[in-house]
Chain A
Amino acid sequence: MEFAEHIKTANVEDVVLRQPLQPPSRGTLCITGHHLLFSDREESDSRQVLLLLRNIDAIEKRMSGSSGTITMKCKDLRVLQLDIPGMEQCLNIAHSIETLSCLDCVSAMYPFFYRPVDLSLPEQWGLSSPEMHYSQMKELYEKWRLSTVNRDYSVCPSYPPAVIVPKSIDDDTLKKAAKFRQGGRFPVLCYYHKKNGMVIMRSSQPLLGANRKRCKEDELLLQAVIEGSDKGYIIDTRSMQQAQQARMTGGGFESKSFYDRWKRFHRQMERGKALQESLIKLVEACGDESNNMDRWLSKLENSKWLSHVQNALSTAGLLVECVERDGHSVLVHGSEGTDCSLLISTLAQLIMDPCCRTMEGFLGLLEREWIQARHPFQQRCAHSAYSHARLQQESPVFLLLLDCVWQLWRQFPLALGFSEALLLRLATEVYASDYGTFLCNSDQERCALEVKERTHCLFRALLRPTERDYYSNPLYERTELAIWPSVHPQSLQLWKGYFLRWTQQVRHLEEAQEEIRNMVIEWGKLARS
């Protein structure tokens, strides 16, 4: 195995492991190509800790005398410590962890090796496909069609082979429109609101450039979207100023003169590096041990994380307002259309559409908006809050989404079919996983690496009966109504379940959730008997 060259010491005896919420234990440490395995020496009640090396975000080593201590800070925000006897062994282990935890080669990652006995590789990877989605939506047939213009990824490398577009627009028009959009991401349908037939479209920015080019085909395409309606809205996830500046580098926005029936809103949403730094500051604040209230509140404020949550929810709220209340179709984009656009279109669908609030519905939504419509997971989630590595493309947009969904769940504890535990699971899996779902940056890359043939799909695994029970919300009761979130700062809370996950405090809250589940189960039994 090619990992062997990185493993000089595979086994160490007499290691002490310290982890949160548990007493230290002594046992054997073992390093494999993908895992760190620790097993307790206690015969009677042997405990094992199996940690994906990919989960380790940063390590620190400290030598004292003939032994050393390795502190491992994980992407799921857990901090573990190993006391290893023997300096050389310690250095070897540290080296192996450092190298193996951030291997770049996707095809060497664990999902390609993960073969649980109770699961055979699926015939169908994922929950659905654009084709299936289209065929199930009969409402679409009249005015929308499924286009396979991108079947070989030549029109837009980041789109799936099939996309839904207005029926009246032919593939040639699409090809031309794609040339006018960054990365070829021409406007496609992402949500159809059954109540009033309005839609949410998604794209990247138009390539106007400094000399204000225009593209008849793009205009035609958007015109076809609002056929039969008086106007449409465009929500640009950049500020007016940012959008104007984008023209200097070839981008831009839809100008009033060429898209006269489209009304534009600009909402500046934080992305990229700034968002990553926000996460780093928040995690740092949560780990502050000074026990000083002023310091905590000022650090919390300074991280700006909750401002980003507020901003995302309120922009999604605006989107829902346009579609649900105002009754008009909306086009959402920022610059690349692979981050904030996905974030707010996902949130908007959760707020509006009861079908997205069941567990299948939610996972399906994530699959459509994030996997198929391509969020570059590989780049965005390479590192989390502890890493010392220089920031490249990392940005916790997906984590921000999960936090926003958690806020929805907290404000409407009965409206969502899944529980906080599912959000936590997803937040962990997105950074380090046994499954292939969050591998790669696009559908094209996934095909090239045969991800769909050679790995298991997380979403399908989560829907197996046992897992589904565990992640379902016992209080769930479907409502057809929109769940309008409050974005008042008092209504937004720190997601303790995630950011303070490894503290005792969260255990008490988990117990309460457990109690709720038991009560409802008990009640169900009585009602049935």
Chain B
Amino acid sequence: MEHIRTPKVENVRLLDRSSGQRKASVGTLYLSATHAIFVENNPETRKETWVLHSMVSSVERPPTTSSGGQLILRCKDFQIFQIFIPQERDCVCACVRARVCVCYSELYCLSFNPNVNKEEREESWNFIDLAADYKRMGVPNNLWVATAANSEYRVCDTYPSELFVPKSATPAIIVGSSRFRSRGRFPALSVFFALQAAVCRCSQPLSGFSGRCQEDEMMLQALMKSNPGSDYIYVVDTRPKLNAMANRAAGKGYENEDHYTNIKLQFIGIENIHVMRSSQQKIVDVGEMRSPSVTDFLWGLENSGWLKHIKAILDAGVFVARAVADEGVSVLVHCSDGWDRTAQACSVASILLDPYYRTIRGLMVLIQRDWVSFGHKFSHRYAHLDRDPKEVSPVIDQFLECVWQLSEQFPCAFEFNERFLIAIHAHVYSCQYGTFLGNSQKERRDMRLHERTHSVWPQLWKDRGKYTNPLYKAEQSQSQGVLRPNTSPYCFKMWKGLYNHAEKSTPPRQSPADFLSAVREESQQLEEELTNHQEPITWEKIEVPRRRTSCLPQRHSGPDPPTLYREPIASLAQDSSHTLSSAPANQKTHTKEPALSLPLGPHGQLKSHDPDDLSTCSDLESGVADLSSRSSSGGDVGKDPDLE
């Protein structure tokens, strides 16, 4: 690790705008190679705020005023920090440090060391086994086989080396088909359902206005034949038809139904990455509004178009899932390059089709397969390095949000909770682990990431306790079989947990989920106790649940807003550790990693601080604060018409 003398700036004021903090706290800012760390001066709290450099999406520097310089840090997980620095010189320095990394070697995952040995590291990369998952689906079998065509990434350098194709697709067909597909992304198996119909994925054909390719036609024919139950396949083009047609002029486009026998072409109309990027910016702005009226809010929501896009993606997944499950027809999904909208549609369909993907481990497998392995361009889309801003787009954000919307509709169907989704979201952006680095399997291999970084999945698995939905029961009807969501507009709402940090830190609402998790845990313990001791249980034991209930996180907000909001926040911190910009494991980093020796005082003190604790003594915005701010405008205080 590059050794940098940690610059330190004193008398800095920090305002955590995203959590609705109103009064800046005074403290010291430390700039390490990987983090900006703010430590409050207040000796009682010594609250720390850790911001990972790679989480910073933009640094604004408003003009210097008499009171000094200012920096506004916007993070990729939608947190915003405003930093006031008295000296102009320090401000520039801080600004430079917080800049986005420019090369891979600067990324945090290459210096991050969670204190495990070599074997454990290797083991961590084997945690998710895709071959085992295909086996679980019943592949390979007499219709679907693994192909060696892409070993050493010879045919398609953005695909994984192991792929499944119909048995009748010979290497010649595969190679021929891949030449006729954008970026060589030929049709390959994504998910196999009920030993019958399959969801396959590819990129757009290079058909132009009249081009055709015999091998590609044979490939689609092979797909159809590998499902003996049906005599046609659906080809789902997830783009709006107009976009697909426009692509024909560039020698690309979509399948001509006259050339392919027995296909049904279906357009879905998910917009492209540029539309999504600007839509997300708008919904982030909606989340940042200070005290909007209901009208402003709903208008902003409509104007952003975000929920419309989420609905389109879910509709695509529903179409695919219905075709496969209800009609027993195989589906081939593509968009332009087959790594954004295609990944969304296939993975949403998988979630709907197979209950396994609604479990914690299952979702990991799914993301590993349809996103990581199939070459979703993580580094480009999530701006891991300072590259083309036009490549950036919240593609996986949308997938995670689709899953969240589904979990709101089926509260008992998912083993994981919202925190799990938000944790994955943070890791996609943070570059703390190597899992989401690079744009393809080949890139990751070339960078030797398996030797130099760690996999995020075992870490998430270890923390699964806090990611578990207490209402989930595998044997329940909601959890089983194919999910059939309603996609009426009224079923969608803004994902507050992700976009609206300000709201989250208003008085900690009571959380039934936390309560139920505790209840569940306790029930299990009691059950064990019961089986262990057959003798009559004493009064002492009856005391147990009561006592434990009372030490559940404080679930109420208190009598008087100022004290009340302060008090229960400690519990908020532990139940929302997903909100931090620097993901949970950071905490471990700085207690375990001696290289990062910061003049922060005794370590014991550090340990007690969750980086998320930012809000501990901030003056929080709340319903009540809203009231008081409005009472001055709405009332007639001091202005009595009688006296005028």
Chain A hits for B561, CB < 8 A? 325, 484
Question: Which of A240, A411, A415, A519 is in CB contact (< 8 Å) with B519?
Answer: A519
Q: What are the nearest 3 A-B pairs in CB distance?
A: A296-B489, A489-B297, A512-B411
B410 and A508 form a contact (CB under 8 A): yes
Chain A hits for B418, CB < 8 A? none
B556 and A526 form a contact (CB under 8 A): no
Distance of A104 Cα from B359 Cα, bound (Å): 57
A298 and B302 form a contact (CB under 8 A): yes
Chain B hits for A496, CB < 8 A? 490
Chain B hits for A482, CB < 8 A? 557-560, 564
Chain B hits for A306, CB < 8 A? 294, 298
User: With A321-B624, A523-B519 given, is the CB distance from A484 to B292 under 8 Å?
Assistant: no
B626 and A267 form a contact (CB under 8 A): no
Q: Does A291 contact B (CB under 8 A)?
A: yes
Task: Kindly specify which of A89-97, A131-139, A177-185, A310-318 makes contact with the partner chain.
Answer: A310-318
A488 and B291 form a contact (CB under 8 A): yes
Distance of A212 Cα from B630 Cα, bound (Å): 29
Chain B hits for A490, CB < 8 A? 287, 297, 494, 496, 500, 503
User: With A313-B623, A488-B623 given, is the CB distance from A255 to B642 under 8 Å?
Assistant: yes
B641 and A240 form a contact (CB under 8 A): yes
Chain A hits for B527, CB < 8 A? 526
Task: Kindly specify which of B11-19, B124-132, B457-465, B505-513 makes contact with the partner chain.
Answer: B505-513
- B296-316 contacts to A, CB under 8 A, are 296-299, 301-302, 305, 307-308, 311
In the complex, given contacts A264-B636, A512-B412, what are 4 additional A-B residue pairs having Cβ atoms less than 8 angstroms apart?
A301-B294, A491-B496, A491-B623, A511-B478
A484 and B510 form a contact (CB under 8 A): no
Distance of A512 Cα from B442 Cα, bound (Å): 44
Q: Does A522 contact B (CB under 8 A)?
A: yes
A484 and B631 form a contact (CB under 8 A): no
Q: Please encode chain B, from 535 to 566, with 1 for each CB lying within 8 Å of some chain A CB and 0 for all others.
A: 00100001011100100000111111100100
Report B330 CB to chain A, min CB distance, Å. Answer: 27
Binding site for B on A (CB under 8 A): 195, 212, 240, 244, 255-257, 263-267, 286, 291-298, 300-301, 304, 306-307, 310, 313-314, 317-318, 321, 324-325, 411-415, 475, 477, 479-494, 496, 500, 503-505, 508-509, 511-512, 515-516, 519-520, 522-523, 526-529
Q: Does B409 contact A (CB under 8 A)?
A: yes
Q: Which residue of A lies closest to B567 (CB)?
A: A481
Distance of A313 Cα from B308 Cα, bound (Å): 29
Q: Which residue of A lies closest to B472 (CB)?
A: A515
Q: Which residue of A lies closest to B558 (CB)?
A: A481
A266 and B635 form a contact (CB under 8 A): yes
Report B304 CB to chain A, min CB distance, Å. Answer: 10
A489 and B519 form a contact (CB under 8 A): no
Distance of A298 Cα from B297 Cα, bound (Å): 11
Report A251 CB to chain B, min CB distance, Å. Answer: 14
- Give the contact-size bracket for chain B: 35 or more
Chain B hits for A526, CB < 8 A? 523, 526-527, 530
A195, A304, A477, A480: residue with the most chain B Cβ atoms closer than 10 Å: A477
User: With A244-B641, A484-B561, A490-B496 given, is the CB distance from A307 to B295 under 8 Å?
Assistant: yes
A481 and B490 form a contact (CB under 8 A): no
List 16 A–B pairs whose Cβ atoms lie within 8 Å, in order of A's numbering: A265-B636, A293-B305, A301-B294, A304-B295, A306-B294, A314-B630, A318-B627, A325-B561, A414-B556, A481-B557, A484-B557, A494-B490, A505-B488, A508-B478, A512-B411, A526-B526
Question: Which of A263, A264, A310, A484 is in CB contact (< 8 Å) with B507?
Answer: A484
Chain A hits for B631, CB < 8 A? 265, 318, 321
A481 and B641 form a contact (CB under 8 A): no
B626 and A411 form a contact (CB under 8 A): no
A266 and B490 form a contact (CB under 8 A): no
Chain B hits for A475, CB < 8 A? 512, 515-516
Report A45 CB to chain B, min CB distance, Å. Answer: 20
Question: Which of B559, B564, B642 is in CB contact (< 8 Å) with A257?
Answer: B642
B510 and A413 form a contact (CB under 8 A): yes
Distance of A297 Cα from B301 Cα, bound (Å): 8
Report B579 CB to chain A, min CB distance, Å. Answer: 15
B486 and A325 form a contact (CB under 8 A): no
Report A274 CB to chain B, min CB distance, Å. Answer: 15
Distance of A351 Cα from B287 Cα, bound (Å): 27
Chain A hits for B506, CB < 8 A? 486, 488, 491
Q: Does B522 contact A (CB under 8 A)?
A: yes
User: With A321-B627, A414-B510 given, is the CB distance from A293 to B635 under 8 Å?
Assistant: no
User: With A297-B301, A314-B627 given, is the CB distance from A483 to B490 under 8 Å?
Assistant: no
Report A298 CB to chain B, min CB distance, Å. Answer: 6
B486 and A505 form a contact (CB under 8 A): yes
- B479-493 contacts to A, CB under 8 A, are 486-493
Q: Does B293 contact A (CB under 8 A)?
A: yes
Report B468 CB to chain A, min CB distance, Å. Answer: 13
Distance of A406 Cα from B627 Cα, bound (Å): 20
Distance of A353 Cα from B233 Cα, bound (Å): 63
Distance of A503 Cα from B484 Cα, bound (Å): 13
B624 and A317 form a contact (CB under 8 A): yes
A515 and B476 form a contact (CB under 8 A): yes
Chain B hits for A292, CB < 8 A? 489
Distance of A163 Cα from B70 Cα, bound (Å): 61
A523 and B522 form a contact (CB under 8 A): yes
Q: Which residue of B lies closest to A247 (CB)?
A: B641
Chain A hits for B503, CB < 8 A? 486, 488, 490-491
Q: Which residue of A lies closest to B525 (CB)?
A: A526
B478 and A479 form a contact (CB under 8 A): no
Report B432 CB to chain A, min CB distance, Å. Answer: 29
Q: Does B470 contact A (CB under 8 A)?
A: yes
Chain B hits for A301, CB < 8 A? 294-295, 298-299, 302
Q: Which residue of A lies closest to B499 (CB)?
A: A490
Q: Which residue of B lies closest to A268 (CB)?
A: B634
Distance of A300 Cα from B471 Cα, bound (Å): 31
Q: Does B622 contact A (CB under 8 A)?
A: yes
B559 and A412 form a contact (CB under 8 A): no
User: With A479-B556, A482-B558, A512-B411 given, is the CB distance from A488 to B626 under 8 Å?
Assistant: yes
User: With A265-B635, A318-B631 given, is the CB distance from A489 to B624 under 8 Å?
Assistant: no
A255 and B411 form a contact (CB under 8 A): no
A508 and B409 form a contact (CB under 8 A): yes
Chain B hits for A325, CB < 8 A? 560-561, 624
B555 and A529 form a contact (CB under 8 A): no
Question: Which of B410, B520, B626, B634 is in CB contact (< 8 Å) with A266?
Answer: B634
Distance of A491 Cα from B557 Cα, bound (Å): 15
A505 and B626 form a contact (CB under 8 A): no
Chain A hits for B242, CB < 8 A? none
A529 and B537 form a contact (CB under 8 A): yes
Q: Does B643 contact A (CB under 8 A)?
A: yes
Q: Does B119 contact A (CB under 8 A)?
A: no
Distance of A317 Cα from B522 Cα, bound (Å): 37
Q: Which residue of A lies closest to B289 (CB)?
A: A489
B490 and A296 form a contact (CB under 8 A): yes
B623 and A487 form a contact (CB under 8 A): yes
Q: Which residue of A lies closest to B502 (CB)?
A: A488
B489 and A489 form a contact (CB under 8 A): no
Q: Does B2 contact A (CB under 8 A)?
A: no
A256, A494, A512, A523: residue with the most chain B Cβ atoms closer than 10 Å: A523
User: With A318-B631, A511-B412 given, is the CB distance from A481 to B556 under 8 Å?
Assistant: yes
Q: Which residue of B lies closest to A256 (CB)?
A: B640
Question: Which of A480, A504, A529 is in CB contact (< 8 Å) with B559?
Answer: A480
Chain A hits for B507, CB < 8 A? 484, 486
Chain A hits for B490, CB < 8 A? 286, 296, 300, 494, 496, 500
Q: Does B637 contact A (CB under 8 A)?
A: yes
Chain B hits for A479, CB < 8 A? 555-556
Distance of A286 Cα from B489 Cα, bound (Å): 9
A307 and B519 form a contact (CB under 8 A): no
Chain B hits for A515, CB < 8 A? 412, 471, 473, 476
Q: Which residue of B lies closest to A499 (CB)?
A: B490
B544 and A527 form a contact (CB under 8 A): yes
Chain B hits for A485, CB < 8 A? 623
